Structure 1
C-alpha cells in the first residue's frame, strides 16, 4: 500500500547534506512522511472499496497511480476525465504540517513524547482529534488536514522515542487516543531507566528492572542543555546534548542501525498501525463520504458564486440562477458534476452568509431565494463577500462575482490578493451596466480594481451590458470541469502587437482561448499554417464568440497537436488565456529550508524572500501517474512581460521535483512547466494561474492549538525586513468579524526584526468547529514593500465527555445456521443489542461497518437504543460502529464463523465482542467465535 500513490516530500533531501527532510523515524521508507502516506493511502483505499462495493460495483483501480485510484474511487459509472490534483494537494497539506512539527516545536517535549512528557503528548493528540472532528463537521477540511498532520507526527514519535517496543509490545497503545483510559505504569521522575552506553550504539539500554516491571519511559532531549534527571535515558544523536551525560547514549529509533534494527522496524510497524487506528477513529465519526472529502477525493469542480443583491441586480441574479441550474442539470452523472456548491450574497452594508452544500437541489433552492433589494447608486460590499468565498471554498476553486457597482470595501484589496495567492483560487468578475446611470460610471471607474484582482488570480474581468450577460456566462460552463488546466496566460498594459506561442498536446480537449480588451484583433495559426481571424465567427480552427470586452474562441475538436501561434494587434490593454481539459497537470508550493535536529523544508505562507534563490516543490500528475510523464523544465515567467527564468530541477521521486531558481524575475510571475506525455509521445505545456512576486519583508507566526469560545488566544509573531530602523505598519483581518487586538505600528530593531503579539477573542457563542482565517499584513518602514501570512485558527469547545458508547448483548439466534454456508437464502441469523451513552451526550449515529444484513434501531434520542440485526447465514460477521455526540466511538462486533470440524459448535454461549474505540482488524480477528 505504501507504493500505491507517490508521496510528496518522501525523498526530498537537502541539497548539501543528504538528510531526509522529515526523518524523525528513520529515513527512506521509514520517514514520518512514508509512515503517514502508508496509513493514509491504506485507509483511503479501504474506504473507497467500501463505498464502491456498497453501491453494488467492483473496486478495480487500473493501476497504482493517484489518478487511477481517484478515478476508481469516484465510481465506474461517471464519464469524463478526473484530476488527482486535489488528492495530491490534500496529502501534501498533511505531510507539510507533519514535518513542520520538527521546525516549530523542536524543543517541545510533548510534541515528540520526549523527556517522559506522556500526559502532555496525549493531550495534544486528543485535543487535536477533537479539533479535526469539529472542523470536518463544519466543512473546514484544510484546517482539519493541517491538525491531522501535526497530530500524526506526535503519535508516531511515541513509538520511536519511548521504550514501548523494547517492552515487547507489537500493537499500538490505544490509551494515546482514548483520554478515558489512564496512562498506566509510567516510570517516576526519580526512577532510573537506562544503563550507560559510551559508544551510543548499544542494542538495548533499558534497565532490566524497567523491562521486568513494564515501566514506560522515554528519552530526554536537550537541544540547549545537557541536564537531565539522574539515571534517565537520553534521546540520543548529535543534536541531543543530554546524550553525553551519564547514562550516555540514547534510545530513539529514528534511524535504522545495525544495533537497533529490530526495535526500529517494530517502531515503524506499530507507528503505522497506530496511525491507521487514529484515522479509523476519524472515519468512524465523520463517515465515509466526509472522510474522502478530507482526503481531497471528490470531483474537482466546485461552483462558487458571489452575487450582488442590490435593487439593480434582478436580471443578473436571474442569469446566475439560470447558469447554476444549467450546470446542475447538464453535468449530472459525469465527472464534471460539481462536488460542492457555495453561494455568498452581498449588499450594502450586509454581506453573507456563506451557504455551502453538496446537494444540488439545496443550491437551486438557495439561489432561487435571492432577491434584488436595497442599495442604490453607491458602491457595495463586494470584497467582503469575496473574502468569505476565498476562505470558505476549497483551494484552487473557481469563483464568479456578479456585480454592477464598484467595491465600497476597497481597503480589503491587499487582503484579497493575499488570499488569492494563498488559496490559488481563480476569481472572475461579471460587471454589468446599461452605460447611462451614475452607477454605471462608478462601475467603470472601479473596473481597474476588479481587473487587477482577476489578473492576480488568473481569472477574467468581463464588462458587459445587462442584456448581454447571458452570452458571457459560458466561461462558467467552460471552467466547471474536474480537469481544467491552463496552457498560457499573458497580459499587456499598455497593449502592443505581439505574437504568442503555445503548445497543445494530444491529451487536451475542450480547448478555449479568451481575450479580454476593447476591440482586440487577432490572427490564430495552427502548426500546419492554417489561420483564422476574429472576423471569422466560424472558421477552420474554431468558433469565435464576442460579447462586451470578451472574445471566446472554442477550438474545433479535431485540433492539431503542436505549437500554435496567436498574433494580437492592439494598443489598448488586453489579456490572453488558453485553457483545456486534461489530467496531465501539476501543483506547486514555494518552500524554504530549515535547520535543526531534523532539517527539512517548509511551505512559505506568503511571498518568497527577495535576494535569495526561490525554491519550489512541484508535483506532476500524468494519465497513469508519474511514470507516464517526463518533465522537461520548470520556469518562472512574467505575465506582463517576456522574461523567462528556468529553474534547476532535482527529481526527488514519485512525480515530485525540487526546483531552484537563483534569480527570480522582477515583478509578477507564474510557473510554467514543459514535458512529454509518455502515453502519446506528445509534448505538453502547463502554466499556473496565480501570480506571485518576492518581498523583502517576511512574517513568521505559528498556530498549533485551537481556542475555546470566549477565551483569548495569543499569537506571537515576528516581522523581518531589510530596514534597520523605523517602524513596520501592521494589520490583521479575519473572515468571521471576531474581535482582535494588535499594534498598528511595530518598531524595527537594528537587526531588521520587529516582534509583537496578536490576540483573538472569539465570542462565547461561536459554534464549535468554526475555522477563522487570519490574514496578517506587514509593510516595511516607508511602505515600499509588504508581505502577508495566512493562518487558520480553529474554535473548538472544551470536551469533558470522553467515554465511548456502551453495547450490551440482548440475544443471538443462530442455531438454524448449518455448518456450511447454505446455497438458499432461507437460513438466517440475527441478534439484538442495547446501546447507551452512560452519563454522556447521547448517540449520534449507528453505522453497519461489516455485514450484509438488515439493521434497524429505535430512536437515537432514546436513553437506551435497541438495535436489531438480521442476515443470511452466509453473512457471518457483524460490526456496528457507534458514535456519540462528542465524537467518541464504540465498536460492536460479533461473528458466527466456526472452525472446521465434523459438527457445528454449540451456540449456547454466543460471544459478542464490543470493542470500544477503533480497534484494528487483527485485534478483532482474535475474538472470532471459534
Structure 2
C-alpha cells in the first residue's frame, strides 16, 4: 500500500468530526434535534402505531397516546402481549435494537463523510434517491431472510440520507408541509430540479442568511441543495453553499449557506421545521417497509421483544450423544413451558459443529422448526479429537442479536483455537454472553461411533482454559461436569431464559485467593440466583443484609437452597424482606468465579463512544469499534431502563485483578441516556458497574439503592486499528477492498515516532474468499502508522439479504497486545424491478342499504386485479391493510405474458372501506383503496332496478392515479380489458 493511501485514510478518519448534517447522536446546541432524536421519534411512533393496529384487529384495548413523548419503556409496556400484568418487562432488548439503527445512522458521517449522495449535497438528488432506494431494498431483503440485525444497521444508514434532504435542500423554504414521497418511490420522477446552470443563491447579508435563496427560484418552485467541500472553495457560479466553518465553498460568492442542521445554522430558524419533516419522512419510509414485510416481521425488525433468543452451539461428534440428548431436553422444556407466553424466546438459533465441517446456522422464529432441526442432530464422526468449536461459535455471535446469551456444548478441545482473538473481538463487539457446557474435562475421550480405535487424548487444562477465557471475557461461565451430571447443570439455561434477567454482581479470581464480595439487593429484584464455580475444595459463606449467614456445607438454609454439579454451585436465594447489602466470602486458592443474577425491569446497557475530531466545535460522538486505548480517555453511552424515577449516582470501571477502579463523570442527556466519561484509564480488563437510587412505587422496600453490572469485559489496548469500507452494501460476485491503518499508541494517542511490525489476521463469518497482508510495518517517517488492505470476494451465489461480518485484528510483535476493527457488510443484489404492483379495478357490487341499523345484514363485494408487469419479479403477497372482510385470490395469465392476481374482497356493509396491499418479490408495494358510499348521481331507474343504494368505489393505483366508478353492476369494460 502506498504512503499516499495511508494519508488519505488517516485524513478520512479525521473527517468524522466534520459533521455537516443534523448532529449524529447528541445535540448540545440548545434544543436542536440530532439524527438520533429524529430516528427514535419516528421508530417509537411507528412501532406504537403497529401495536395499536394489531390490538384493534384482535379486539384488544390500546391506551397509549402516540406522540413525541413516547419512551421505550412506554411502548414496550403498551405493546406487551395480553397477560403480562404480572410479568416483569424490560425494554433493554428494544433499546438495544434502536441503538443499532441510531449507530447505523451516525456511521454515515464516518464512512461517507464526503459523499454528496449520502447527504444530498451539491444538488445530487438522483444520487441521493439511489442511495435510499438501494438501502430500502437491502433492508427488505434482510428481513426476508430474518437477518434483523443487519436490517437495522442498513435502515439506520438509509434514514440518515433521507433525513439530510430536509436540512440540506430548500424543500422547507419552498413551504412544503409534507415529505417528498418521490425520494422513496423510484418509479416516480424527481420534478422541478434546478439545473446545473441555474443560479440559486445570493450573498448573505452579514450573518443573516434568511433570504439568500433567489426569489426567482422560490417563485418557480425549483429544488436545490447546498454545495459542500472542505478542501476547495470552487463551486458552480451562483449556487448555494451548505455553510458552516468547514465548508470552504461558503466563502465563495454567493457566500453563506442554507443548511438547517441546528438552530445556529445558516437557516437555523427553520431547523425545527426541517426536523419535523424528517420525522414525517422517516415515518413514511417505515410504513413502506412495514407493509412490505408484514406487521410481525416489522416489530421483529424494530427489536420489540420481551425475551431474548435461545441459542445453542452443539458439538455433534461421536461421543456427544448424551450432551445432544440433554440439549434437546432442556430446549424442549423451555419451548413447551413458554410457548404462547411473553417469555417465549424471540428467535431460535442452532449451530452444529463437527470436524471438518461446521454449521449450517439455523435461525428461525418458529419453535417447531427449531425443534425439528435439533431433533435431527446425531452424534457421529469427528476423526481426531479437536473440533471446530470456535467456527460454530463465530456463526452464532454474528447471527444473534447483540447482548444474547449463547450456550456451547462440547467435550473436545478447539481445533480452531487460532480464532480465539476473533471470537473475543466479536464478544466485545456484540456484548453477547457465552457459557460453555464442558463434559468430561480431564477424562479420557470415549470411543467415537464409527471409529476403530480409542483415543488416549484428554481435554487438558490448557484446552479447557481457552473456553474459560472466552467465558470470562463475555461474562458467561465455563461449567465442567460429567455427562451424568449435565442435567443438573443445564438449569442455568432455564434461569437465563426467564424474562428481564439482570446481572447484579460478577467477579472472576484467577489466580484464586480468599476474598469477600458485597452486592446490593434492591426491591425490584425477584428470583435471585448465585453461581459459584471453582475447585471441589472451594468453600464459601453467604451473609444477608439482616445478618443471617449460611455456609457452603448447607444445601438448604435460611438464605438459599443449593445444588452442586461438577464445578458449579447454584444457589437459589431467599431475599424476601432482606434488601440491602449482602456479602459472600469465598475461601479458595484455585481460580473461581461468583455471579449473582435476578429478574428486574431495572437494567442498563452501554456503548463505547469516540469523540469526533474537532469535538470542541461539534461536541458529538460516534460508536467506537474495537478496544479503548490504554492511558486514554474513555466515553460511554449508558441507557438505564425500568423506571422514570431513578437516579444514577455512580458508574465505574472495575478491574478485579488490580483491583483498579476508575470512576466516571456522569451527565444526563435525555430519556434515560447518560454520557459517562473516564479520564486516563490505565491498562487493564474492566467491567462496567452502575449504582443509583430508585424511588419508584414498585420497590418493595424503602431502601432504594440498586447496583447492576454489565457482563462483558472491556479490555484496553495500546494498538489502534482503523478500517473503513467504501461501501456497506456489496453485490454478489463482486470484490470489495477495505483499507486499514494500525498504529502504536501512548497515553491514548498515536505514537508518531514508533516503528513497529504487527501481525494481521482477517476473518469473516461466511468463509468468503479474502486476502490480507500477514504483517504490516510502521516504518521510520510514517508517523507511527502502518497501512494495509483486506479484499473480500462475495460469491455470485450469495443470496441478497445475507450479511457478512469482517474482523480485522492486529497484534504486536511480542504477542502481548491485540486490537481489532469489526465491519458489518450487507450482500445486496442490484434491484432492477423498481416498479410497484399496479392495481386495476374490475368491479364492485353491493346490496348495501342506506340504513346503518341494517348494515350487518347486507354485504358488498370488491374485485380488483394486481399485476407486476411483464418484467416484474412477480406478486409475493396480497394483504388487507384496512377492513375486516374476506379476501380470496387467484392467478391468471394475460395474453401479453404478464400474470394477474385477481382479488375478490367481500365484507359487511357496516365496514365500507378496504385497503389492499400487494408486495412483489423485491418488496415494492402497491395499494388499492375501495370505499362504499351512497351515490348522489345515480338515476332512479338504476336504483330501482338494483333495488339498492348505488355504491361508488374509489381506488388508488400504485402510480398515484385515482379512478372513480359509480355502478352497482359488474363493470364489463374493465373485465374486457383484463382478459382481452
Cα shift at 1:335: 2.4
CA distance in 2, matches of 1:926, 1:652: 52
Moved more, 823-832 or 671-680: 823-832
- Decide which of 51, 75, 89 is 1:48's aligned counterpart: 51
Cα shift at 1:275: 1.1
1:740 aligns with 2:770: yes
- Decide which of 740, 749, 770 is 1:717's aligned counterpart: 740
DSSP 3-state at the match of 1:652: strand
- Decide which of 58, 62, 65 is 2:61's aligned counterpart: 58
Aligned to 1:612: 632
CA distance in 2, matches of 1:901, 1:486: 70
CA distance in 2, matches of 1:712, 1:622: 45
Cα shift at 1:225: 1.4
- Decide which of 951, 955, 958 is 1:916's aligned counterpart: 958
- TM-score, normalised relative to structure 1: 0.92
DSSP 3-state at the match of 1:847: strand
CA distance in 1, matches of 2:966, 2:180: 22
Query: Would the alpha carbon gap of residues 179 and 632 (structure 1) be closer, same or farther in structure 2, given more than 3 Å must change?
Result: same
Moved more, 835-844 or 72-81: 72-81
1:178-228 Cα deviation digits (max 9, x unpaired)? 222222232221221122223242333222332233222111112221111
1:30 aligns with 2:33: yes
Cα shift at 1:295: 1.1
Cα shift at 1:901: 14
Query: Would the alpha carbon gap of residues 641 and 578 (structure 1) be closer, same or farther in structure 2, given more than 3 Å must change?
Result: farther
Aligned to 1:800: 832
CA distance in 2, matches of 1:458, 1:375: 30
- Contact 2:528–2:596 (CA under 8 A) maintained in structure 1: yes
CA distance in 2, matches of 1:176, 1:439: 66
CA distance in 2, matches of 1:573, 1:595: 43
1:772-827 Cα deviation digits (max 9, x unpaired)? 01111012344332201111111111111111001011112245241x53365112
CA distance in 2, matches of 1:815, 1:598: 66
Query: Would the alpha carbon gap of residues 152 and 899 (structure 1) be closer, same or farther in structure 2, given more than 3 Å must change?
Result: farther
Moved more, 97-106 or 880-889: 97-106
Query: Would the alpha carbon gap of residues 36 and 915 (structure 1) be closer, same or farther in structure 2, given more than 3 Å must change?
Result: farther
CA distance in 1, matches of 2:278, 2:966: 25
Cα shift at 1:499: 1.1
1:327-348 Cα deviation digits (max 9, x unpaired)? 1112223322211111111111
Cα shift at 1:589: 0.6
1:486-509 Cα deviation digits (max 9, x unpaired)? 111111122111111110111111
Cα shift at 1:34: 2.0
DSSP 3-state at the match of 1:832: strand
1:564-613 Cα deviation digits (max 9, x unpaired)? 01111111111110011111000001111103685510111110122211
DSSP 3-state at the match of 1:312: coil
Moved more, 721-730 or 492-501: 721-730
DSSP 3-state at the match of 1:485: strand
Cα shift at 1:51: 2.0
DSSP 3-state at the match of 2:715: coil
CA distance in 2, matches of 1:39, 1:629: 26
CA distance in 1, matches of 2:928, 2:490: 53
Matches within 5 A, 1:279-318: 279-318=286-325
1:82 aligns with 2:89: yes
1:487 aligns with 2:507: no
CA RMSD of aligned residues (A): 2.8
- Contact 1:404–1:443 (CA under 8 A) maintained in structure 2: no
DSSP 3-state at the match of 1:499: strand
Moved more, 525-534 or 441-450: 441-450
Cα shift at 1:259: 8.9
Moved more, 647-656 or 68-77: 68-77
Query: Would the alpha carbon gap of residues 488 and 550 (structure 1) be closer, same or farther in structure 2, given more than 3 Å must change?
Result: same
- Contact 2:26–2:621 (CA under 8 A) maintained in structure 1: no
Aligned to 1:686: 708
CA distance in 2, matches of 1:896, 1:557: 62
Cα shift at 1:167: 2.7
Aligned to 2:488: 471
CA distance in 2, matches of 1:270, 1:72: 26
1:516-570 Cα deviation digits (max 9, x unpaired)? 1112111101111111111111111111101111100001262611100111111
1:670 aligns with 2:692: no
CA distance in 2, matches of 1:262, 1:643: 49
CA distance in 1, matches of 2:36, 2:818: 33
Aligned to 1:865: 901
CA distance in 2, matches of 1:216, 1:199: 25
DSSP 3-state at the match of 2:680: coil
Matches within 5 A, 1:776-791: 776-791=808-823
- Contact 2:728–2:824 (CA under 8 A) maintained in structure 1: no
- Contact 2:849–2:855 (CA under 8 A) maintained in structure 1: no
CA distance in 2, matches of 1:443, 1:745: 32
CA distance in 1, matches of 2:444, 2:867: 68
Moved more, 899-908 or 567-576: 899-908
Query: Would the alpha carbon gap of residues 172 and 927 (structure 1) be closer, same or farther in structure 2, given more than 3 Å must change?
Result: farther
Aligned to 2:807: 775
DSSP 3-state at the match of 2:952: coil
- Contact 2:839–2:865 (CA under 8 A) maintained in structure 1: yes
CA distance in 2, matches of 1:417, 1:222: 40
Aligned to 1:5: none
CA distance in 2, matches of 1:860, 1:662: 69
CA distance in 2, matches of 1:715, 1:655: 36
Cα shift at 1:450: 0.8
1:590 aligns with 2:596: no
- Decide which of 916, 921, 928 is 1:880's aligned counterpart: 916
Cα shift at 1:637: 0.8
CA distance in 2, matches of 1:396, 1:336: 17
Aligned to 2:597: 579
Query: Would the alpha carbon gap of residues 25 and 709 (structure 1) be closer, same or farther in structure 2, given more than 3 Å must change?
Result: farther
DSSP 3-state at the match of 1:496: coil
- Contact 2:846–2:951 (CA under 8 A) maintained in structure 1: no
DSSP 3-state at the match of 1:441: coil
1:827 aligns with 2:858: yes
CA distance in 2, matches of 1:457, 1:563: 26
Cα shift at 1:29: 5.0
Aligned to 1:352: 359
Cα shift at 1:109: 1.4
CA distance in 1, matches of 2:685, 2:264: 48
1:67 aligns with 2:73: yes
CA distance in 2, matches of 1:469, 1:396: 25
Aligned to 2:546: 528
Cα shift at 1:483: 0.6
What count of residue pairs does the alignment treat as equivalent?
904
Query: Would the alpha carbon gap of residues 572 and 685 (structure 1) be closer, same or farther in structure 2, given more than 3 Å must change?
Result: same
1:615-674 Cα deviation digits (max 9, x unpaired)? 111010124xxx221111101111434322211111112111111111325421100001
Cα shift at 1:27: 6.2
CA distance in 1, matches of 2:530, 2:601: 19
Where does the alignment leave 5 or more consecutive residues of structure 2 unmatched? Answer: 1-16, 446-454, 746-750, 944-948, 968-980
- TM-score, normalised relative to structure 2: 0.88
Aligned to 2:874: 842
Cα shift at 1:21: 5.4
CA distance in 2, matches of 1:92, 1:903: 60
- Decide which of 152, 163, 175 is 1:168's aligned counterpart: 175
Where does the alignment leave 5 or more consecutive residues of structure 1 unmatched? Answer: 1-13
Query: Would the alpha carbon gap of residues 182 and 778 (structure 1) be closer, same or farther in structure 2, given more than 3 Å must change?
Result: same
Query: Would the alpha carbon gap of residues 342 and 110 (structure 1) be closer, same or farther in structure 2, given more than 3 Å must change?
Result: same
Query: Would the alpha carbon gap of residues 599 and 102 (structure 1) be closer, same or farther in structure 2, given more than 3 Å must change?
Result: farther
- Decide which of 246, 249, 259 is 1:242's aligned counterpart: 249
- Decide which of 564, 569, 586 is 1:546's aligned counterpart: 564
